[in-house]
């Protein structure tokens, strides 16, 4: 009671910030905090009931104090919930920007979890996904939003590297077979373990996706 | 009028539009990255820059396949330049988006206040901000907020002494270089008076100098 569960959520959020992946959504905790807020609100209503709308804090300091505590706790719970969800959505947005397909990865995880029993018990719980259904919906819509905003800057490629470009051409090594790509100097077939000297703009995406490694 | 002023005027008129645009873009980029607040959207400048990038890319595409070493070399120079421009614009837009995402409601309010001829946000950014906020609100609503008592469902609550709308720290320190004499600048809340002369570099509170940065008398470095 009184904000304790909210605190747990915030601790989860804090931990999430330093993790590379997204830990499972704390459905139980979120539900508990929401329930607490509703209970507190009911309390407030019961306390205020006998006064029938003519409550004067100066004549009843004790009741006023109780009300204040309840009120502050509700606000605090709300803040905790907002902070928790915001941290997670920030993380999801970051993934959208860096070109990671969050939903696909979730599916892979849950499939892997279903395949061998040991994996399912490990990190992911019954649902197999660390996102809540609402979050999945959010990711889907945010990717659409991002795509539509990006679509207005066709020449710029907003998700490109934020490092200042030094060389037009770079050395890359192929880590995974990536098939054939078209460049202005003809087509190159990227087979594993081969090395190329190519235009940075042509392979930017592939480096981000982990197919190629840049050699300095 | 002293010799510096005359030189300054000659300087501005003598440099071609392209060079000035690059300078302006770089300035806007640095300012956007350092200033705690959102700067106004440089509409004209962005249009010119994007137009030029588009033309350069077309030129590159046209000339490709030309095996003459001389044009080939020129193309490499052009492409390097285009990449650099693209980086500047990209970084600039991302810096703005980051601010939009951190203080959405504050910036939205400022945008509505701002002059229609010099809007704070570009139409695309405005659209991004509003749709992003709608998305977030829907997400919070579906996750927990819809089960809250009615009087706690708002996102821009200011009762209880604390506003829910987050504001950037307007008193953060910035480094500025003086481009044109602005005379005495008073820093609010202190009895300090700064005499800013052309060429000076100062560390001051953003809130004290933002007007001059906007008008181009000071540049952030």
Closest CA of chain A from B43, distance in Å: 14
For residues B202 and B145, state if they share a domain. Answer: no
What does the block give as tokens for B72? Answer: 């080939």
**Which pairs with CB-CB distance under 8 Å and at least 24 residues apart come from A149-154?**
A149/B124, A149/B127, A149/B128, A152/B124, A153/B50, A153/B89, A153/B93
For residues B143 and B178, state if they share a domain. Answer: no
List all residues of chain A from 133 to 192 with a beta carbon under 8 Å from chain B. 134-135, 137-138, 141-142, 145, 149, 152-153, 155-158, 160-162, 164-165, 168, 184
For residues B163 and B191, state if they share a domain. Answer: no
For residues B96 and B155, state if they share a domain. Answer: yes
What count of other Cβ atoms lies within 10 Å of the Cβ of residue A136? 15
For residues B8 and B111, state if they share a domain. Answer: yes
For residues B149 and B192, state if they share a domain. Answer: no
For residues B61 and B163, state if they share a domain. Answer: yes
Top residue of A156, A160, A198, A201 to mutate, by most chain B CBs within 10 Å, is A156
Read off the pLDDT band of A122 (50, 70, 90): very low
Top residue of B32, B54, B143 to mutate, by most chain A CBs within 10 Å, is B143
Whether residue B180 has pLDDT greater than 70: yes
Give per-residue pLDDT as tens, A142-159. Answer: 888 888 888 877 777 777
For residues B92 and B199, state if they share a domain. Answer: no
What count of other Cβ atoms lies within 10 Å of the Cβ of residue A124? 19
Nearest CB among B86, B93, B147 relative to A34 is that of B147
What does the block give as tokens for B121? Answer: 């946000």
Nearest C-alpha neighbor of A163 from the set A194, A103, A208, A101:
A208
Query: How high is the mean pLDDT of chain B?
Result: 80
Whether residue A119 has pLDDT greater than 60: no
CATH code: domain of residue B181: 3.40.5.60
Read off the pLDDT band of B82 (50, 70, 90): confident
Please state, in angstroms and rounded to a whole number, the distance separating the CA atoms of residues A25 and A40: 24
Return the pLDDT at A112. 60
Report the share of chain B in percent with pLDDT over 70. Answer: 88
Burial B70-93 (b: 16+ CB within 10 A, else e): eeeeebeebbeebbebbbbbbbbb
For residues B79 and B147, state if they share a domain. Answer: yes
CATH code: domain of residue B119: 1.20.58.1030
What does the block give as tokens for B106? Answer: 């504050």
For residues B114 and B178, state if they share a domain. Answer: no
Contacts of B192 (CB under 8 A, 6+ apart): B186
* Domain spans in chain A, listed from the N-terminal domain onward: 4-147, 169-215
pTM (2 d.p.): 0.79
Read off the pLDDT band of A110 (50, 70, 90): low
Let me know how long chain A is: 216
Q: What is the DSSP string of B173-185?
A: EEEEEESS--EEE
Give per-residue pLDDT as tens, A16-28. Answer: 888 877 888 888 8
**At which of B121, B148, B167 does a domain end?**
B167
Read off the pLDDT band of A115 (50, 70, 90): very low
Number of A to B CB contacts under 8 A, please give it. 103
Report the share of chain A in percent with pLDDT over 90. Answer: 0
Contacts of B39 (CB under 8 A, 6+ apart): B28, B31, B32, B213, B214
Whether residue B156 has pLDDT greater than 80: no
Answer whether B160 sits within 8 Å of A155, measured CB to CB: no
- C-alpha gyration radius of chain A: 26
Burial class of residue A100 in the structure, from the number of CB atoms within 10 Å of its CB (0-12 exposed, 13-18 middle, 19+ buried): middle
Closest CA of chain B from A116, distance in Å: 31
Nearest C-alpha neighbor of B128 from the set A136, A101, A153, A17:
A153
Answer whether B143 sits within 8 Å of A165, measured CB to CB: no
For residues B82 and B48, state if they share a domain. Answer: yes
Give per-residue pLDDT as tens, A67-84. Answer: 888 888 888 888 888 888
For residues B192 and B159, state if they share a domain. Answer: no
Contacts of A161 (CB under 8 A, 6+ apart): A204, A208, B87
Has domain A4-147 been given CATH number 3.30.70.100? no
Torsion angle in degrees (nearest 10) through CA of B83, B88, B89, B94: 120
Q: Which domain holds residue B202?
A: 169-221
Give per-residue pLDDT as tens, B97-117. Answer: 888 888 888 888 888 887 777
Number of separate domains in chain B: 2
Nearest C-alpha neighbor of B147 from the set A47, A204, A78:
A78
Q: Which residue has the tokens 């009931």?
A: A49
Top residue of B137, B139, B147, B154 to mutate, by most chain A CBs within 10 Å, is B139
Residues of chain A with C-beta less than 8 angstroms from the C-beta of B166: none
């Amino acid at each position: 009671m009184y904000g304790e569960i909210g605190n747990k959520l915030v601790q989860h959020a804090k931990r999430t910030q330093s993790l590379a992946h997204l830990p499972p959504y704390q459905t139980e905790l979120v539900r508990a905090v929401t329930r607490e807020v509703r209970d507190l609100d009911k309390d407030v209503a019961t306390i205020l009931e006998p006064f029938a709308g003519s409550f004067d804090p100066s004549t009843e300091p004790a009741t006023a104090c109780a009300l204040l505590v309840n009120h502050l706790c509700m606000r605090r719970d709300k803040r905790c919930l907002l902070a928790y969800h915001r941290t997670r959505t920030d993380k999801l947005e970051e993934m959208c920007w860096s070109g990671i397909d969050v939903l696909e990865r979730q599916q892979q995880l849950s499939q892997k979890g279903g395949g061998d029993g040991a994996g399912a018990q490990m990190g992911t719980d019954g649902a197999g996904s660390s996102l809540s259904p609402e979050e999945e919906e959010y990711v889907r819509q945010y990717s659409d939003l991002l795509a539509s905003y990006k679509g207005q800057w066709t020449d710029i490629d907003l998700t490109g590297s934020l490092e200042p470009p030094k060389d037009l051409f770079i050395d890359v090594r192929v880590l995974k077979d990536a098939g054939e790509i078209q460049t202005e100097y003809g087509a190159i077939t990227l087979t594993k373990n081969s090395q190329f000297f190519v235009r940075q703009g042509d392979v930017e995406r592939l480096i981000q996706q982990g197919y190629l490694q840049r050699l300095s | 009028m002293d010799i510096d002023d005359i030189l300054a005027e000659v300087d501005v008129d003598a440099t071609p539009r392209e060079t000035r645009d690059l300078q302006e873009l770089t300035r806007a980029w640095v300012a956007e990255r350092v200033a705690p607040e959102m700067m106004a959207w440089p509409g004209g400048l962005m249009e010119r820059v994007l137009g030029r990038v588009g033309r350069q890319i077309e030129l590159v595409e046209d000339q490709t396949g030309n095996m003459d070493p001389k044009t080939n070399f020129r193309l490499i120079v052009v492409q390097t330049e285009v990449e650099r421009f693209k980086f500047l614009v990209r970084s600039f837009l991302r810096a703005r988006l980051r601010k939009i995402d951190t203080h959405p409601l504050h910036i939205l309010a400022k945008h509505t206040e701002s002059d229609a001829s010099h809007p704070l946000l570009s139409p695309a950014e405005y659209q991004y901000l509003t749709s992003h906020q709608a998305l977030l609100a829907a997400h919070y609503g579906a996750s927990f907020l819809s089960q809250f008592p009615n009087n706690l469902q708002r996102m821009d609550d200011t009762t209880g002494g604390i506003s829910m709308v987050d504001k950037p720290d307007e008193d953060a320190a910035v480094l500025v270089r003086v481009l044109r004499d602005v005379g005495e600048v008073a820093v609010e809340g202190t009895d300090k008076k700064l005499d800013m002369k052309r060429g000076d570099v100062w560390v001051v509170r953003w809130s004290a100098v933002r007007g001059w940065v906007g008008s181009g008398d000071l540049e952030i470095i």
